[in-house]
Structure 1
Amino acid sequence: MATSRTVTATRHETPVSAEVATPSRLRMIVVLGALVALGPLTIDMYLPALPRIADELGVSSSVAQLTLTGTLAGLALGQLIVGPLSDSLGRRRPLMGGIALHMLASLVCLFAPNIEVLSLARGLQGMGAAAAAVVAVAVVGDLFDDSAAATVMSRLMLILGVAPIVAPSLGAAVLLRASWHWVFAVLIVLAGALLLVAALALPETLPVGNRRPLQVRSIAATYLSLLRDLRFVALVVVGALGMAGLFAYIAGAAFVLQGRHGLDQQTFALVFGAGAIAFVAATQVNVLLLRRFSPQRILLWALAAATVVGASFIVLSVTHTGGIYGFLVPVWAVLAMMGFVIPNAPAVALSRHHEAAGTAAALLGAAQFGVGAAIAPVVGLMGNDEIALSVVMTAGVGVAVLALIAVGGADDDGH
């Protein structure tokens, strides 16, 4: 187990201590990347099946999307619970419990007889995946500071970005041979493999001396102290609203591309994956930009660019210009801008509160997935079309850039 001195040192140095990372930073990044991939795999793998789920269970598309809302709500609520637990019990035990819950919920999804049971089980799946997400981000907060944390987060995004590419294709492959229920059998296997990897390869990065009491009063005090930091709150809002565009696309893409543009499940998976490639490429360009610019400045310019692209997207959608390309090109551009936002906003926020990295990561994640849970049904109610997606995506990034400017979040001094 790492000492307090070792953890403190690694926050400010490029190499991760072998005592903490066993044996290398690269291995740590791979393990953490696998952990954060559980959430996107859980969200994205069943997307090609959404129209089929709606048909087989006899519900509308907006009702079928409630299964996605349940997952995102579970991810949000689960992080608020797991964050304080990981600050008190260490990172490993809450992680193992969360993955086990995910596997149990996936089993319920496999045999779900109706939309109500499926939605409930998807919520529990989300809560289980939340443990993997919050622990991975908290470990980054344990070990790294500011630009170094943003660099590591960008590397995690490289691994994380593979999930949206692989997941829909894997789901579509399952649907070629079996019913949508069996998508969840594959998730059980994947979560089991991840549980084994975490048990064998993830060290404990929170020393006993740095843990916080597991008491309601102490937990409430920690959350209140974080919420009093207005710049931290602004960064949480920026990260959440920036993610609104991503979740709007996840919620509506299958209905727009398959329903309105006639793509089959396999082609949809490829097109959906192309958006993930744009996102991943941007996260790696972000590493290069961090050598010259602060994370705060990159955040501002990325959100501003996304807002301009989003405005153009609204015009193309309202005028029905460009066909499927008038939809895909601006969507991919916004997703690329999110590749700059998603690593930098959490990294700068976490650098302000190393003493409560788990709880801070929980607030960040809960805000992101809470917004996602709210966005999914909004897209459905607005019609699951190009106009709905363009308006929701643009509104999210537009408000995010205003929030960042309002608190001076673009200043080079994040503290």
Structure 2
Amino acid sequence: MNTDTKVYLKKRFKEYYFRNRVDSPMDVHRREFGVGTLEDKIRFRHKSFTSGRELTQYLKTEAPYYISYSSAYYEFPENQPMQRKNWLGADLVFDLDKPMDLLDHGKLEDVKEEAKCIVGFLEDDFGFTGKEIKVNFSGSKGYHIHVISDDVRSLNGEARREIIDYITGTGLDIEYFITEEETMRGITFKRGQSKGTAGRRIGPRKDSRGWARRIYDVAEELIAMPAEELVNIKGIGATTAEKHAADREMNLRFLREGRWDALFDRLKGPIQNLIYSKAVEIKDADKQVTLDTSRLIRLPDTIHGGSGLLARKVKDIDSFNPLMDAIAFKDGEVTARITSDVGTWTMMENRYGPYNAGEEVKLPEYAANYLMLKDYAEFRG
């Protein structure tokens, strides 16, 4: 990146922070901060601010390309090494993203669905309220979820791992949710051979909660499928599909009563396979964000130095569109010279690219700044 481009971008970052207020995190004086450059997202850390006003002034004067803060609370957040900070607790944080070379609406929608799924787990299974759960766009490829509650603040890394394992369905086995109810035992005959009858299998019902309810939902979805769809499910052959289609009403009635006798032996495998669709897939690298109680994560409503988009707080995740709602720079047009071939991407419902190295293009500022921050272009005027 040439000098003119760096001067232009720094000027625009400063102007943004002069015109826009960024809220400080709760207990800002207990947080460690890190700031980054165009080359390094966290170049310096062990920084602290005594108040929100001091943080605001720093943003206005320094306009860092990246600024992150700790999920942890410390007695002395500026101290080094880490042991001298005196850890007091930490928020529970999740970091979700999808690999993408350029902004991709489809992939961003996929990761938004995963974020919604995590929020669902946190509310429905763990009982956190909407006030305790904060969601923000990461500013680039995904979402950050913060749980700010006394109930999580003292959790160690192992306790946080258990939460991740629960949400991702790690080690989930539906047999855990099936019990055998003692009934009158007797002798039945099948093809002339005697066979002992066992107790009834009792399993999840519609009023179950947590994973039990999700298992019930999967079973209900399977039973409701026509035979031609059932045969496409791994572990279900044509004979089994026809049998379940013929017995659909009876099986649904038994399921709603919590009786899994007719389902368990024939549908255990397919249910076990499909239940993982209800889990959230979190990459190992993203899991570390949750496990690490001293991790720094992007300060909401600040600019991401690799995209020019805001790490925007999300009020309504269903309607939120980061390619419209997280745009920081909306003033006029900018001429840029393309320095490397670049493909296509979408912002503000407009499609840009492809462009070839050497081209000069006039673009809306948000699109030009995006290319410059990704080192695909240089400022021309």
Q: TM-score range by the shorter chain?
A: under 0.3
Q: Which has the higher contact order (CA 8 A, sep 6+)?
A: 1
TM-score by length of 1: 0.23
TM-score by length of 2: 0.25
Structure with the greater alpha carbon radius of gyration: 2
The structure with more helix, counted as a fraction of residues: 1
- Of Structure 1 and Structure 2, the greater strand share is in 2
